[in-house]
Each structure stands twice: as structure tokens, then as C-alpha cells.
Amino acid sequence: MSDVALVEKLVEKHLHLKKEIAKVIVGQDQVIDQILLSIFSGGHSLLIGVPGLAKTLMVNTIAQALGLNFKRIQFTPDLMPSDILGAEILDENRKFKFIKGPVFTNILLADEINRTPPKTQAALLEAMQERAVTVAGHHYKLDLPYFVLATQNPIEQEGTYPLPEAQLDRFMFAINLDYPSFQEEVDVVKTTTNDEPKQVQPLFNAEEISDIQHVIRRIPVPDNVIEYAVKLVAKTRPNDNAPDLVKNYLDWGAGPRASQNLVLAAKTHAAVNGKFSPDIEDVQAVAFGILRHRIIKNYKAEAEGITEVEIIKKLF
């Protein structure tokens, strides 16, 4: 099948996919859009929201609709790297045998990732970046496609281990979940307190998603769009050439990985909207989720209540 036909098919299936997910998940359209952009781009996402906003249910539903394997790890302070990656045990023949951990799946939900110590967070880092793990000197490849969707609770900070900047940078998107509107919450209560089980039909399989990821990478991007993305990221760095807004309110800006992710996500955004090449509007549409967790505000910005979104908007 030609690339053009694949993109046209993706547009159609993307609409069906959203309808399928909407059988179970009420509202949260922007969140679902960003998770799907991340998956089709081959990136990872960090979901930030208070408990009870259907983060786990959402990821589980998306995994079912995409026809992918799904596993969940609840991160706790005593979780060890071997609990995630797997461990070698002696079998009945007194030979070492590797038992795979929950990291061996297609979609991994890392629930409350900031509750576990850095040693365990780092174990996930290799899996996210290399799509492989090393246990007892042996290298094991993970099944492709592979995505980590991590969640974080923004309220409780006691007993947590904030993710280091290097690890935050591995997440393509940081997605904020808000409370549903009044009508959405009414619909949630109606659908979750009855006795009608909702069946989600798988619309894709692992091979199709891998094909989509390759097609998206083959989409051509005009030089002016790439230059716009790189300039936008460069503006977030508080150096001599930075805008006054950045010098006043930011301690640290986004790195080159942000530019790569902006262009890749813009390609995916263009593809799911039926365009064969991204433009500047596509870059702006994905900029908030990609830059939000990569810029570090200073004390002045915190004191004046300036949000990351306001800063990014003024840099367009």
C-alpha cells in the first residue's frame, strides 16, 4: 500500500478509534488526542492529574482499541528494579532461567512513577530509550511498538521522588488532566453505575501501528516548518538572545530533543488530520504538551502565578 493510501486509511481509522474509546471514556478529548499522537509518533507520555480521573481506565481502553498488550505497575517506595524488568531464578534442572517482568509488553502504565526511588525509575529509563533491558549481563529486546504512559499526582508531594530532568525529557508529551465538566461528570456517573458492560473492539494490531510510525517518519517537512520548531525551542533558553519574558521567568529551557519531538508530533498531527505535510499550525498545536515539562520556571514566575502555557503561547 502506498504512503498516501496509508495516511488516508489512518484518518478514517483514527475517527473510528476515537468513537470506540468514547464508549468507555466520557470527554477528555484533548488528552486522548495527545496520547494517540504520542503512540503514533513512537513517543512516551506523562499524565499529570489528581486521582479518580480515569487515567488507568483510559490507558487500558486505548490499549484494547489499538489491539496491543497492556500491563500496569503500581510504583511504591519499596519497588525494586527486578520487580519491573524480571529476574533470573533456578529452575528444577538447576539452570538459571529468566522470568520476564511487566516491562515486557506493548503499553506499560507506570502508575504514580514519582513514588519510587531513583534506582527503580532509572531501570525504566533504558526500556524507554533503548526499547531493551539488561538483566544479569544479558540483553533482552522488548516487543515493538513499545510505549510507557506514566502517571503522576500533582497534589501529594510527601514521600515522593520527583523525576529528574533527564528522565522528564524522555517523555514526548506531558499531559495535564482536568476535572470533567458538570455534564461530563453526570454522564460518567450514569455510565459507571449501571450494569451494562462496554465492549471495545480492537481496530489495529501491533504490526499496523509499527507501519504507521514508519509512514509518519517518511512524511516530508518544509524547511521553514523545521526552522520554526527549532527557533521556538531556542527561544525558551534564557541566554543573551532570549526574549525578556524568558529571561525574567525561566531558569532553564528545552533541549534539542524538544525540537525533534515537535517536528515528529507535527507530522503525526498533520497525518491524522488528512494533511500530507505539516505546517506551522501543526507545530503550534502540539507545542504545549511537548514543551510544558521541559521548561523550568524561576521563583519570580511562581510568585506571580505565571503558567508554562502562558509563556509558551507568547513565544509563538
Burial class (CB within 10 angstroms; exposed 0-12, middle 13-18, buried 19+) of 234: middle
Dist. CA 271–CA 290, nearest whole Å:
18
Q: Does the pLDDT at position 164 exceed 80?
A: no
CA-based Rg of the chain, rounded to a whole angstrom?
20
Dist. CA 207–CA 89, nearest whole Å:
32
Q: What is the pLDDT of residue 158?
A: 66
Q: What is the pLDDT of residue 156?
A: 64
User: Tens of pLDDT along 194-247?
Assistant: 877 778 788 888 888 888 888 888 888 889 889 888 888 888 888 777 777 777
Q: Does the pLDDT at position 256 exceed 80?
A: yes
Q: What is the pLDDT of residue 212?
A: 84
Q: Which of 205, 209, 213, 196 is nearest to 265 (CA)?
A: 213
- Grid-cell match 520556571, residue found: 297
Q: Does the pLDDT at position 181 exceed 80?
A: yes
48 versus 125: the higher-pLDDT residue is 48
Q: What is the pLDDT of residue 203?
A: 82
For 220-315, CATH number out of 2.40.10.10, 1.10.8.80, 1.20.120.530, 3.40.50.300 equals: 1.10.8.80
Specify whether the CB–CB gap between 73 and 305 falls below 8 A. Answer: no
Q: Whole-prediction pTM value?
A: 0.85
Dist. CA 259–CA 262, nearest whole Å:
5
User: Tens of pLDDT along 89-139?
Assistant: 887 788 887 788 888 888 888 888 888 888 888 888 778 887 888 777 778
- Grid-cell match 468513537, residue found: 19
CATH topology agreement for domains 3-206 and 220-315: no
The domain over range 3-206 is classified in CATH as 3.40.50.300: yes
Q: Does the pLDDT at position 176 exceed 80?
A: yes
Specify whether the CB–CB gap between 243 and 210 falls below 8 A. Answer: no
- Averaged pLDDT score across all residues of the chain: 83
Q: What is the mean pLDDT of residues 38-45?
A: 87
User: Tens of pLDDT along 66-93?
Assistant: 888 888 888 888 888 888 887 778 877 8
Q: What is the dihedral of CA 158, 161, 165, 168, to 10 degrees?
A: -90
Q: Does the pLDDT at position 170 exceed 80?
A: yes
Specify whether the CB–CB gap between 87 and 135 falls below 8 A. Answer: yes
Q: What is the pLDDT of residue 277?
A: 85
